[in-house]
Amino acid sequence: MASAPSGPEPDLPFRFSTPVPLSEILASGTLTLLPVRMHSMEDVASTANRDLKAEWTDALRKPPSGAAGGSPHGHVATIGVPECLAERMYMCAYIMDFMIWHDDLTDADRDSVDKSKSISARRTLSADLKGGANSTSTLPSPHALESLQSRMFNRLLALDQPAAAALLHEWELFATYSAGSFTQEFPTLDEYIEHRFYDAGLPLYYAVSAFGTACLPPTPAEQSLAAPLISSLGKACALTNDYYSWDKEFAAYTAAGGHGRVYNCVTWIMEKYSCGINTARELLKEMIHGYERQFEKKWQDWEENGVKVKSEDEGKVDVWRVRRYVEAAMFATSGSAYWHARAPRYKVGDGIGPQGA
């Protein structure tokens, strides 16, 4: 008999969300062992999605994909930030949809089988999003992209200037990393997952979840305390993305005549362990659960032994805020898995394109 998802005792006050029943989690095919919650403001997230689509179309052209953060389960923001403050839900949904379409644009040739082909386009778009004016890109106008992004961050700044500034910093790191070159070969799984953690924009995703719950740690000392737990969650989240995107990426690979290489952890496992697809996916599922249990063990250590603050950081750390930050990341991780399981973005034959993040 399936057991209920586990997780830490909550520090977040549950004011906006309700738990997703275990029966619904299991029926969806969601992998996560962590609890999943759903925000009550799905209508606000849907409005943000429609508004961004209209603004994007007006400023640039038709968005690169239709679904963005929507899914039959709900919008990724209502599932990934279940305790988002009411006044921040609109912008959390807006920026998450923007992230998805940004990722689609950087995959300029619509080919996730060999993403190295789009490195040049990624570099150009990164410069555009950070204000570069000299561009020969065939992508939409850099000035229009810059203007759209500037308006988005002005809205965020109006809500919470310090947190929005931290969010902008993560956005710039995301744009820079996604624009950089990378190798298709990774000697170890840890190196591959480390790359996927950044390539999929997970630091930014967690920053958005923290912004929504108003618990973004502003100090390096607080971030350092949270880092070991965020690392376990991030690895689970990165591999979950690979698990659910495999079918679509493999279909694109097959349609291309089996040329190139499917950029996915399933491929890595098949090559390293000389196994077939089904075995590789089962091993991947075990890895995801392993990282989630690793997180739970670290959290339990906090519960039993307290959060240990270095002597030099005494007075610089708000332990309760760090705990809330980590818990927000936990719900972002479990919510991402629940969203992935039904998101049109990862379904073969939906006409959206073979995105992998």
- Which two three-digit tokens encode residue 154? 């002005």
Q: What is the pLDDT of residues 198-212, one digit of tens each?
A: 888 999 999 999 999
φ and ψ at residue 238, rounded to 5 degrees: -65, -45
Residue 37's pLDDT is 96
Domain boundaries, the chain: 34-341
The length of the chain is 357
Q: In percent, how much of the chain has pLDDT > 70?
A: 81
Q: What is the pLDDT of residues 148-195, one digit of tens each?
A: 888 999 999 999 998 888 889 998 888 887 766 555 678 888 889 998
| Sign of the C-alpha dihedral computed for residues 78, 83, 89 and 93 taken in this order | negative
Residue 108 — very low, low, confident or very high, per pLDDT cuts 50/70/90? very low
Distance, CA of 96 to CA of 163 (rounded, Å): 16
Mean pLDDT score of the chain: 83
Q: Are 209 and 172 in contact (CB under 8 A)?
A: no
Helices (H), the chain: 22-28, 42-59, 76-80, 89-106, 119-129, 142-159, 161-179, 189-199, 202-212, 220-255, 265-273, 277-305, 319-342
* pTM for the structure as a whole: 0.85
Judged by DSSP in three states, 188 sits in: coil
Span of 45-49, 110-114, 149-153, 315-319 with lowest mean pLDDT: 110-114
Residue 5 — very low, low, confident or very high, per pLDDT cuts 50/70/90? low
Residue 121's pLDDT is 41
Burial 106-116 (b: 16+ CB within 10 A, else e): bbbeebbbbbe
Q: What is the pLDDT of residues 284-342, one digit of tens each?
A: 999 999 999 999 999 999 988 888 888 777 777 888 889 999 999 999 999 999 999 98
- Which two three-digit tokens encode residue 319? 């332990």
Q: Is the pLDDT of residue 124 over 70?
A: no
Residue 245's pLDDT is 93
Tell which CATH classification among 3.40.50.1100, 3.50.50.60, 3.90.245.10, 1.10.600.10 matches the domain 34-341: 1.10.600.10
Q: Is the pLDDT of residue 142 over 80?
A: no
